[in-house]
Amino acid sequence: MEIRHATLADCAEATGALVAIDVLRAFTTAAFAFAAGAERIVLAGEIDEAFRLREALPEALIMGEKNGLRVPGFDFGNSPSELRGLDLSGHTLIQRTSAGTQGLVRAQKAGPLLAAGLCNARATVEYLASHVRGGVTLVATGVLPGEDGDEDIACAELIAASLRGRALELPPLLERVRVSTWGRNFTDAAHPEFPLADLELALQVDRFTFAMPVHREGDQLVMRAERI
């Protein structure tokens, strides 16, 4: 399988299968939402779009962030630890984030689409192996001005190695996540808005055995969990 790499800067040009990767924290949070019973997650690129979607889906809950912080009026932030212990059975969620959801919203030429983090990397690989013929583009969505995005690059490297039948040593890979530009926020006492628990949950490789394919349903991008 041909494996290509991209960032938010060029993912709009990608064709064929595409995996948007956001370890800290969008797609880790999405995975914990599905683990809590959520039925589907509708993706939004902009904040006002998220609120418009809730008008159309009045029972839906909005989760996400701007600049890492919960948006006023959203039901949840972009925090997997916030969702632990909740019962979201049957709920529709709307998710808008500054990196992860952007990688899917912008990829208008690509398909099929998946969302991934370390927490479901193996399931993502198995989904690709069984559903995709040809190449795949792995989008490290956290590569942004002033942010190295190495948490997502590391995850992309893990997925790529697995697709090629190779194994990577996890300890150095997880250390890269911890010391990435964004990862350091979670170990800095000056940033209590970024709980250490979120980092620790994001580092739990293959905690979940479901992939998160994203389908175009009318004018909406809808993510669901598909157990592998």
CATH of the domain at 116: 3.90.1560.10
pLDDT band per the 50, 70, 90 thresholds, residue 93: very high
Please write the tens of the pLDDT for every residue from 184-224.
Answer: 999 999 999 999 999 999 999 999 999 999 999 999 999 99
The residue segments making up the domain with residue 185 are 3-227
* DSSP H or E segment with residue 116: strand 110-116
* pLDDT score, position 17: 98
Of the candidates 152, 126, 108, 127, the one whose C-alpha atom is nearest the C-alpha of residue 6 is 152
- Average pLDDT, rounded, for the chain: 97
Residue environment code for 94-125, b if the CB has 16+ CB neighbours within 10 A, otherwise e: bbbbbbbbbbbbbbeebebbbbbbbbbbbbbb
Residues facing residue 113 across a β-bridge: 18, 214
Confidence of residue 129 (pLDDT cuts 50, 70, 90): very high
pTM: 0.97
Task: Give the tens place of pLDDT for each residue, 34-86.
Answer: 999 999 999 999 999 999 999 999 999 999 999 999 999 999 999 999 999 99
Give me the pLDDT at residue 60, please: 98
Q: Residue 13 in 3-state DSSP?
A: helix
Asked whether the beta carbons of 113 and 156 are under 8 A apart, the reply is: no
Burial (CB < 10 A; 0-12, 13-18, 19+), residue 93, is buried
pLDDT for 214 equals 98
With residue 139 as reference, give the H or E element that holds it.
strand 136-140
Give the count of domains, the chain: 1
- Reported as a pLDDT band with limits 50, 70 and 90, residue 137 is very high
Q: Which residues of 160-189 are buried (b: 16+ CB within 10 A; e: fewer)?
A: bebbeeeeeeeeebbebbbebbbbebbeee
Strand partners, 114: 19, 213
Q: Which of 154, 107, 142 is nearest to 11 (CA)?
A: 107
